[in-house]
Amino acid sequence: MPWNVWILFSWVVPILGSRGPISMPFSREMTSSENENVVLLKWGYDRELQEISIEIQTPLATWVVLGLSPEGKLNASDFAVGGWDKENKQVFYDAHFKDEWPPVMDKSQDYELLELSRNETHVVLRVWRQWFTCDSHDLEIENDTIRVIVVFGEDHEFTLLEKNTYIKSFFFLEILKELTDTENLIPYEFRVNDFLIPADDTTYACTFIPMPNVSTKHHIVRYELIVDPDSVGIVHHILIYGCGNNLEFSSEIGACYGSDTRYSKCMNSLFGWAVGGEVFDFSPDMGVPIGTEEDPKYIRLEIHYSNFHNKEGLLDSSGIRIYYTPQLREHDGGILMTGIFTFPIHFIPPGADHFRNYGLCNTELIPQMLGHPVEDFHVNTFLLHGHLTVQSIRIMHYRNGTLIGSLGEDKRYDFNFQQVRDLPGVITVQMGDQIVVECSSSTPDREGVTFGGPSTTNEMCVVFLFYYPVVPIAACWSLLDIQHVVEVLELDESETIMDAIININGVDWDEETIVKAQNAILEADHTAIITHRTGEMINETSSTLPIFAPTPHPCHEYTDD
């Protein structure tokens, strides 16, 4: 529909701008490989009233479009459209994509215009809407990733040009945190030095690096990524693990999961980064302790390289920069890894849609591992980690076998946007509670079974929970009883786990066998595993817990046009 045609219908959409102000403390730049210009996105929200204001600043244009999308595609996206007609009159409306560009007007107009202006160089469009509008054409604003689409143009024909189309993932409901003791922050870097990246699909490179040399207790309160420009897109994740103080350390770089068993004795995640992550500040009342006799003197730096184009001769000096301070915070914090133990027992059939796998953390094993009572954990932050098949992840919290809440989720997980996220409040996990991580995957274009493993083309289902007070436990996770799956699928009897995996790999998968496998996973017992920061493990057989679908918002009773 040309610009001058839809302009005729603009009279039904009043330009309001009457909403009360919502502060907009969040901002990010959006870039395009096709255009050197930058689009600025700003936003703010009111959690109590469930309202959000969003602003885009684009290069000078006649029309601009702000889109909210579940997958980054025009189809199923929610749009706010603004601009000027040939008589220089403002036009604004709420729209959706229907079969072809441009977006068509919604019957229910749920965006309100707060500002539409331009100067010699830029256009500003600022809008307001509720998180839930009960309009099927409006994307719900929840604790999920949202792909933002920004399009703009100079003509009056509403021409869609790739160079003027910007797409980027955002988490709108992030918690604003500000460091108050910046004058006392001391930077320190954990990084490799001109490491020659192998021309292999997957490399896990590890080395030992000393902690900052401090004689009194300090707290690490911030960390940020350091990545070589030539390594962007190849560095998949960087993790820092605390080591015990009874190892012999060296500065050589080796294979993390090869013959050097020292690496397996440094398992306690202190902090880390994955694709799309940003600078992270710990909550104002906690920090990672260093400098005492109990704290690690060395760390294991792990960098996962995904060199799928097999580039040769790349030298990398990537790593993580931390900031620590002598100004101590109230709590000593740590990170607990939970979910599915990374092993091929974790599998997703080809051609599956929303196939779910589960990892179980049974916290009653933590005091058993440590040999003494343990205080309740207080969780305030989480990081979700899956690979390319994962579409959603949720962390379910059980007490006495009953689901009591959530420790985090993302129904629109984006592998390229693995951002650490803060909970709106602190959640207490009592010793004896169970934590179940659910990863839902889709494999429409895969020809073979996708197994759990280290490569990006394998799959993972892991969550990092940030909590206090810290204990020397690295992970609380599980493996399901794969033999039960073999029995349900009526496969040949398997004497070993590897036999079972081979049998599953040989299944002639169809809709019926996929459903059988899904039901078997839901029924199977788990081997619940606790991993000490030194690499020591204990395990116990645990029964499955009842799994319920998420409770939908009342707005799922949509209106429609």
Residue 156 carries which DSSP code?
Answer: S
* Rounded CA separation 270/223 (Å): 10
* Rounded CA separation 138/103 (Å): 13
Element (H, E) at 27: strand 26-32
Q: What is the DSSP string of 415-483?
A: TT----EEEEEEEEE-TT-EEEEEEEE--TT-SS-EEBSSSTTSB-EEEEEEEES--SEEEEEEEE-HH
For residue 365, which of 179, 527, 186, 158 has the smallest C-alpha distance? Answer: 527
Residue tagged active-site, from 204, 305, 324, 358:
204
Amino acid at 289: P
Do 535 and 521 meet the contact criterion of CB atoms below 8 Å apart?
no
- Supply the pLDDT for residue 177: 87
* Rounded CA separation 11/128 (Å): 19
CB-based contacts of 524, cutoff 8 Å, min separation 6: 480, 481, 482, 484, 485, 544
User: Which residues lie across from 43 on neighbouring strands?
Assistant: 26, 54
Do 159 and 181 meet the contact criterion of CB atoms below 8 Å apart?
no
- Supply the pLDDT for residue 6: 46
- Listed in order, strand segments (DSSP E) in 171-211 are 186-191, 195-196, 202-210
* Rounded CA separation 358/479 (Å): 9
Residue 502 carries which DSSP code?
Answer: H
Do 484 and 520 meet the contact criterion of CB atoms below 8 Å apart?
yes
For residue 318, which of 273, 369, 375 has the smallest C-alpha distance? Answer: 273
* Block residue for tokens 């932050």: 381
* Rounded CA separation 65/62 (Å): 11
Residue 102 carries which DSSP code?
Answer: E
Bond prior to 289 in cis (omega within 30° of 0): no
User: Which residues lie across from 498 on neighbouring strands?
Assistant: none
Q: Which domains does the chain have, with CATH numbers?
A: 3-170 (2.60.40.1210), 177-332 (2.60.120.310), 336-550 (2.60.120.230)
Residue tagged active-site, from 331, 385, 397, 532:
385
Q: What is the DSSP string of 11-65?
A: GGS-----SPP----EEEEEEETTEEEEEEEEEEEETTTTEEEEEEEEES-SEEE
* Rounded CA separation 512/506 (Å): 15
Antiparallel, parallel or unpaired: β 473-480 and 334-340: parallel
- Supply the pLDDT for residue 557: 57
Q: Which residues of the chain have pLDDT under 70?
A: 1-20, 556-561
Q: How far is CA 17 from the centre of its chain?
A: 34
* Rounded CA separation 286/377 (Å): 13
- Helices and strands in the chain: count of H runs, count of E runs: 5, 37
Question: Count of CB atoms within 10 A of residue 273's CB?
Answer: 27
Question: Collapsing DSSP states into helix, strand and coil, what is residue 123?
Answer: strand
Amino acid at 168: K
Q: Is 488 exposed, middle or buried (0-12, 13-18, 19+ CB in 10 A)?
A: middle
CB-based contacts of 275, cutoff 8 Å, min separation 6: 236, 237, 415, 416, 417, 418
* Rounded CA separation 136/557 (Å): 9
Do 300 and 206 meet the contact criterion of CB atoms below 8 Å apart?
yes
- Supply the pLDDT for residue 469: 97
- Supply the pLDDT for residue 526: 97
Structural tokens at position 181: 């003791």
For residue 280, which of 186, 429, 174 has the smallest C-alpha distance? Answer: 174
204 noted as active-site residue: yes
385 noted as active-site residue: yes
* Rounded CA separation 125/540 (Å): 57
- Supply the pLDDT for residue 7: 43
